[in-house]
Structure 1
Amino acid sequence: MKVLNLGSLNIDKTYTVEDFVQEGQTINAIAYSSCCGGKGLNQSVAMARAGMEVYHAGMIGQDGDMLKRKLEESGVHTKYLAVAQEESGHALIQLDQQGRNCIICYGGANHAVTTQYIDAVLQHFAEGDYLLVQNEITNVPYAMVHAKNKGMRVVFNPSPITPQLKNYPLEMVDCFLVNETEGEALTGERDYEAILAGLHMRYPRAMLVLTIGSCGVLCQQGETIYRHGVYDVPVVDTTAAGDTFCGYFIACIAQGQTVAQALKTASAASSLSVSRPGASDSIPQRVEVEEFLKRKTS
């Protein structure tokens, strides 16, 4: 069993600010950093650091060597990466003093993923393998359908939300990983319990994972609902919190953990990530997560 993450890769440019810039305003940043990110890359790094064998497919530009190197240093297989004519995707991140962020993404090479490229990658995977996709690349619906036709298990993190999302073949999805904003967009509901119920009504056979910020996470599988809270840590940077959770959760499920165990491990990993600066750089190793859980339960 293998995990394929067909996902985005971005160069993140982070500006630490006192407060987010407003319309017509010019402000000075307190600090600046550049590192590797993108929802796809972050989630691949998280899965690899959780101990999962993961293959990343996606497009980088001629300027994307650092992105490939980051994946390889984290233990991610990169033989299916391809180089596009466009420059690599990048993100402009404002990070305030409370660890909150505002992000502007430029797709770049992430929007050069073709159906032909997807076909070439999928031929190396088979029934029972996992496909993880986000919504930062092109031709996501095509990937879903053709992966499902091969008998792969499709996991979808529908971020960012786009108008086209309503036309996606979401009945192909085996597991949804969503936050409250994404859940509201998919169901029209605002209350998190109503969001979960709405998702279950629409996709009754799918595993549903709904992260609810400081309230933790809910997961529904069939008629069983699981809940796990957050761990109390100092918040430094929340940029990779969701991606860390997603990557760790899928890795734990693929490794055979129960849903309750996977929620616990992924929540701990996500909590550790927010206590550190950066995107992919903040994602903890599995041994760190285990040590953190031992301290919290001792």
Structure 2
Amino acid sequence: MKILNFGSLNIDWVYNVDHFVKPGETLSALSVDRFCGGKGLNQSVALSKAGASVFHAGGIGIDGQFLKERLKESGVDVSFVKTFDVPTGNAFIQVDKTGQNCIILFGGANQEITKEYAEEVIKNFQKGDIIVLQNEISSLNEIVDMAYESGLQIFLNPSPMNEKILALDLNKITYFMMNEIEGEAITGSNEPDIILDKMIEKYPKSKVVLTLGDKGARYAEGTKRIACGSYEVKAVDTTSAGDTFTGYFIAALADNMEIEKALERSAKAAALAVSVKGASNSIPLPEEVDNCKLTLKK
């Protein structure tokens, strides 16, 4: 089984602020840092750090070559990454004193993904392989259709949530990796149990992983329901929490780990990630996850 992550590559500019800027306000940042980012890159790094063998496909500009190098250094195969004659995608991230974040995205090369390019990539994978997708690249609808026709297992993280996600044929998704906001946008409910029930009712062939921040995570498959608590840490930066969870969870499944154990391991990895500033650089290694002594809150 091979894992392909067809996802975004961003230059992250992180501004640490006392509070999120308000309309009409000019706010001085306490500090600013540049990181390698993009949900795609973060999830590829998390997959690789978790022990999975992963190929990354996506677009960068000339100014984003260091993102490709970051992936290579993390053990990700970058032979499918393409350089376009446009700027690399950017994310402008505010992180407040509680560790919460808000993000503005500029698509750049992420929005240059064409059906033809996607076709060239996907033909290298076969039935049963895994493809990981988010909503920060163009041609997502075509990629889902091609992956489904090729018999790939499709893991979709519907973030950022917008009309592009709702326009997809979501019946083709094997696993939804989502949070409460995304769950509410698709089902109309903000209650975790109702979100899971409605997702399974609408997409009975799919499996759903619902992350709930400090309330843990839930899993649904048919009539099966599994709940996992969260681990107690002091949050510094939540930017990579979801991507770390996603990468570790998919890597655990690829390694045939039981769902309950996969949820707990992913939750612990995400907890360690939020205790460090930055995105891909905050994702922990397996030995850090296995050796840390954190308390699981039920």
**Does residue 100 of structure 2 align to residue 96 of structure 1?**
no
Q: Quote the residue 1:153 is aligned against.
A: 153
- Secondary structure of residue in 2 paired with 1:158: coil
Q: Quote the residue 1:279 is aligned against.
A: 279
**Does residue 38 of structure 2 align to residue 38 of structure 1?**
yes
- For residue 164 of structure 1, report the CA deviation from its aligned partner: 2.7
Q: Quote the residue 2:167 is aligned against.
A: 167
The alignment of Structure 1 onto Structure 2 pairs a total of residues equal to: 296
The letter for the 1-side match of 2:170 is L
How much identity, in percent, do the aligned residues show? 43
Once residues 57 and 161 of structure 2 are traced to their aligned partners in structure 1, the CA distance between those partners, rounded to angstroms, is 21
What does 1:110-149 correspond to in 2, within 5 Å? 110-149=110-149
**Which stretch shows the higher mean deviation, 163-172 or 127-136?**
163-172
Q: Quote the residue 1:245 is aligned against.
A: 245
RMSD: 1.0
**Does residue 214 of structure 2 align to residue 217 of structure 1?**
no
- Secondary structure of residue in 1 paired with 2:77: coil
What does 1:19-38 correspond to in 2, within 5 Å? 19-38=19-38
When normalised by structure 1's length, the TM-score is 0.98
Q: 1:77-124 deviations in whole A, cap 9, x for unaligned?
A: 000000111110010000011000010000000000000000000111
Q: Quote the residue 1:2 is aligned against.
A: 2
Q: Would you say the 8 A contact 2:232–2:295 is kept in 1? A: no
Q: Quote the residue 2:260 is aligned against.
A: 260
- Secondary structure of residue in 2 paired with 1:267: helix
Q: 1:35-77 deviations in whole A, cap 9, x for unaligned?
A: 1010000000000000000000000011111110110111100
- For residue 296 of structure 1, report the CA deviation from its aligned partner: 4.8
Q: 1:119-174 deviations in whole A, cap 9, x for unaligned?
A: 00011101110010001001111111111111110110010111232220111100
The letter for the 2-side match of 1:282 is S
In structure 1, list runs of 5 or more residues that go unmatched.
none
Once residues 253 and 292 of structure 1 are traced to their aligned partners in structure 2, the CA distance between those partners, rounded to angstroms, is 22
The letter for the 2-side match of 1:278 is G
Once residues 122 and 275 of structure 2 are traced to their aligned partners in structure 1, the CA distance between those partners, rounded to angstroms, is 37
Displacement over 4 Å in runs of 4+: none
The letter for the 1-side match of 2:91 is A
